[in-house]
Structure formats: C-alpha cells, structure tokens
C-alpha cells in the first residue's frame, strides 16, 4: 500500500459553487480566481473544469498565466498585479493575457512598449486598500491615457478591491463603494471578491471575481445564508497507521508538550506540516476518524500527527482520517491554528497528491 495521504478535489462541488456565485451575481460576468495554484487545489485541473463555466480567469503573475496557456486554457486570463517589466509585458501580449494597470509606472511602460498585439487592460483604483492601484483623483486621466494608447485594446475595465467585505456591516466597504461610484467611465466595472458577491449586491457591477467561495468555503465572518450551501472542494484525508495504549502521565510527540491525563489510546496518522497540515494546530484541534470527531494530541511533526482516540470504540489501523472537508470545515481547523482557510489550502505542497473526483468522497 502506498502512503494514504491525499487531497481529493471534487469537481462536482466546484461546479455547484460556481452556480451559486452565478446566481448571486445576476448578470455580472464571472472571472474565476485561480492564483496560487487555485488556492492549492491545482490550477490546471480547476481551470480545465471551469473553462466552459466561467467567462475569464485571474492569476497573480505571468508564470501562472503562461502555465495555464501552455496546457491549453484559452479563456481570457487577467494578471491581477500586472507585470513587473517590459519583457513580461511583451510575453503577456503574445499570450493574449489581460493586463492590470495599477500604477503610473505600469501605464507609462504600456504606452512605451513595442507589443506584437494590444492587450486588454483593467485599471485598478485604490479606494482604500492602499496596496495597489491609482488614486481615485488620477483615474480619469489614466483612463484617458489608456483609451488613447495603441497598446490598449478595447474599453478598459475599471476595478477596485475591498478591505473588509466579509463583514456585512463594514463601514470601509460602504466608503470604498461610494468612492468607486464617483468615478465616471463608460467601460465595464468590477469590485467584488467572494465576500462582495455574497454580501454586497450593490457592488456586483459588470464583472465579479470569486476565488475562495469557488473552493467551497465561506469567506464571511460569521454565518451568512448565501454562503451556507457552498460545498468544500478539497477533502484532505489519510489513515491510521499505528495505534498504541499509553499510561496516564506519559507524554506524546516532540518536546513532550501533551501529557495523558488518563490511560489513553493514541493513533498515528501519516500527515504532517510537510503535507500541508498546519504545524500551528494546537492539541484539541478536531480531526475525523471515520465520521467521529477526535482531537489532536501533541505537536504536529513534519510527516505525522498523533490523535487521542481514547473515546472512540472500535478504532482500527486503516481507518480513514479526514483533516478537513465537507464534514469538517477548513475554517474550523484554521481557527485552532491561528490562521484562516485560505492559507491552509493554499499551502498544500506538491508532495500531497491531488486526486480529482466527480462527487463527494466518503469513507
């Protein structure tokens, strides 16, 4: 038997989540964000599965886009941060990528470049994130320059990014939206990430840019009815490969940080931080053995974890262990490791095989 640690990627759940994003977004076109290896799910498999479902893709950088093009993805692909130099711009134009212009420097670079064909541009406006984008007061001038540049193809799309759309009453989002609405343009507009799609219908405009929700987890702080029917795409599983009984008072794992308060049964599972399970997960973090909850005991090692299964009758070597998935939200696991679900799936390393399935995995 080979090592049982695997991440199942459920394309049926993915398509279901896209249909939820679509129905929430109404007439807006849908740009699926597949940056960072589709948040760890495998960019090529995700993009291929979504090619006939979405209008465009978005990635963070040129290499991510070219990798998709090389594997046959034909849809428009937006570079969310634009390019870092002129040679990248030329490569992007040759691959018919869509270009973010987020600064005066990127705009000048576009105007001066010799390109094999013009690129379609998205002009990013900084309405409060203060990370990327031209200032609101510079926007009409920048739009004017884009419309007059032979290197810019078609009407530029105007877009911005929210600071805190996951809070349904966020004052920042209201301020950002009001600022964005002051900008005059006759071209398309876009503002929403997943949380915006779910909670800010007045911000849907012409394009929405869902990432996290497509992978089936809620980006919202707290419960939100529109997020409840999302279905997690990734199920991270392994198996129990060893079981031992230890007396009260003995410790488990590195540095002996977990001490048995009673005679305990400890299961060893071959998944660790080298497989994408967070080293920061504290004792007590839930894991599923079969369908039953048990708690992490002791530190997460590189290749293994140990689980207190004292209260689970009939546990056996070979039992399936689920680290996260439909029955155990990644957000819940993340909350025991001082992080969020975005980071947990995105950090899934190449070492963990992704197994593509069409439908839920049970044990």
The nearer residue to ligand PLP, 65 or 288, going by C-beta atoms, is 65
Query: Per CB under 6 A, does 78 bind ligand PLP?
Result: no
Q: How far is CA 318 from CA 72, 241, 264, 274, 299, in A?
A: 39, 6, 19, 21, 22
Q: How far is CA 24 from CA 7, 75, 195, 233, 357, in A?
A: 28, 22, 11, 19, 26
Q: Which of 62, 79, 80, 307 binds ligand PLP (CB under 6 A)?
A: 80
Q: How far is CA 340 from CA 38, 197, 263, 344, 345, in A?
A: 16, 19, 34, 7, 9
Q: Which of 42, 82, 133, 211 binds ligand PLP (CB under 6 A)?
A: 211
The size of the interface with ligand PLP (CB under 6 A), counted in residues, is 12
Q: Which of 210, 216, 326, 341 binds ligand PLP (CB under 6 A)?
A: 210
Location of structure tokens 């198996």: 239
Length of the chain: 363
Q: How far is the CB of 254 from ligand PLP (least distance, A)?
A: 34
Q: Binding string, 161-180, against ligand PLP, x = CB under 6 A?
A: x-------------------
Stretch that binds ligand PLP, among 62-70, 101-109, 208-216, 263-271 (CB under 6 A): 208-216
Q: How far is the CB of 36 from ligand PLP (least distance, A)?
A: 8
DSSP assignment of 178-224 equals HHHHTS--SS-EEEE-HHHHHH-GGG--SEE---GGGGT---SSS--
- SS3 state at 119: strand
The nearer residue to ligand PLP, 21 or 240, going by C-beta atoms, is 21
The nearer residue to ligand PLP, 8 or 122, going by C-beta atoms, is 122
In sequence order, which ranges of the chain are alpha helices (DSSP H)? 11-25, 35-39, 43-50, 62-70, 86-94, 104-112, 139-148, 171-181, 194-199, 330-335, 341-346
Query: How far is Cα 207 from Cα 190, in angstroms, rounded to an integer?
Result: 5
Task: Based on the residue annotation, tell me whether 254 is a catalytic residue of this protein.
Answer: yes
Short-list 273, 300, 295, 269, CA closest to 284 = 295
Stretch that binds ligand PLP, among 167-175, 176-184, 206-214, 245-253 (CB under 6 A): 206-214
Catalytic member of 124, 254, 261, 282: 254
Q: Which of 219, 253, 278, 341 binds ligand PLP (CB under 6 A)?
A: 219
Task: Based on the residue annotation, tell me whether 212 is a catalytic residue of this protein.
Answer: no
Q: Which of 41, 209, 265, 299 binds ligand PLP (CB under 6 A)?
A: 209
Query: Per CB under 6 A, does 194 bind ligand PLP?
Result: yes
- Determine the Cα angle at 217 with ends 319 and 223, to 5°: 110
The nearer residue to ligand PLP, 80 or 267, going by C-beta atoms, is 80
Q: How far is the CB of 35 from ligand PLP (least distance, A)?
A: 6
Q: How far is the CB of 58 from ligand PLP (least distance, A)?
A: 7
On the 0-12 / 13-18 / 19+ scale of CB atoms within 10 A, 340 is middle
CA 52 to chain centre: 20
Query: Per CB under 6 A, does 33 bind ligand PLP?
Result: yes
Q: How far is the CB of 206 from ligand PLP (least distance, A)?
A: 14
Q: How far is the CB of 15 from ligand PLP (least distance, A)?
A: 17
The nearer residue to ligand PLP, 127 or 239, going by C-beta atoms, is 127
Tell me which residues are annotated as active site.
Answer: 35, 254
Which residues here bind ligand PLP, judged by CB under 6 A?
Answer: 33, 35, 80, 161, 193-194, 209-213, 219
């Amino acid at each position: 038997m080979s090592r049982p640690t695997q991440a199942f990627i459920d394309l049926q759940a993915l398509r279901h989540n896209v249909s939820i994003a679509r129905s929430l977004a109404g007439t807006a076109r849908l740009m699926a964000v597949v940056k960072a290896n589709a948040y760890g799910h495998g960019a090529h498999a995700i993009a291929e599965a979504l090619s006939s479902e979405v209008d465009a893709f978005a990635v963070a950088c040129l290499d991510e886009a070219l990798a998709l093009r090389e594997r046959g993805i034909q849809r428009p692909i937006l570079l969310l941060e634009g390019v870092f130099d002129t040679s990248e711009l030329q490569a992007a134009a040759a691959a018919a990528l869509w270009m973010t212009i987020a600064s005066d420097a990127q705009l000048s670079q576009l105007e001066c470049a010799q390109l094999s064909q013009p690129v379609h541009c998205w002009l990013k406006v900084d309405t409060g994130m203060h990370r990327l984008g031209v200032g609101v007061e510079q926007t009409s001038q920048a739009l004017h320059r884009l419309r007059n540049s032979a290197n810019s193809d078609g009407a530029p799309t105007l877009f911005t990014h929210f600071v805190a759309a996951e809070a349904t009453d966020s004052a920042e989002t209201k301020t950002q939206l009001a600022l964005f609405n002051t900008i005059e343009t006759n071209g398309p507009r876009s503002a929403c990430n997943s949380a915006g799609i779910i909670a800010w219908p007045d911000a849907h405009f012409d394009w929405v840019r869902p990432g996290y929700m497509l992978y089936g987890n809620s980006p919202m702080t707290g419960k939100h009815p529109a997020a409840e029917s999302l279905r997690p795409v990734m199920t991270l599983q392994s198996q129990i490969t060893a079981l031992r009984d230890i007396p009260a008072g003995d410790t488990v794992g590195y540095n002996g940080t977990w001490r048995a308060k009673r005679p305990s049964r400890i299961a060893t599972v071959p998944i660790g931080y080298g497989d994408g399970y967070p080293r920061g997960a504290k004792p007590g973090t839930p894991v599923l053995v079969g369908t039953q909850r048990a708690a992490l005991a002791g530190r997460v090692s590189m290749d293994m974890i140990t689980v207190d299964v004292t209260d689970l009758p009939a546990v056996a070597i070979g039992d399936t262990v689920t680290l996260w998935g439909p029955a155990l939200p990644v957000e819940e696991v993340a909350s025991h490791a001082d992080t969020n679900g975005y980071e947990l799936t995105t950090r899934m390393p190449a070492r963990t095989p992704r197994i593509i399935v069409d439908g839920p995995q049970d044990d």
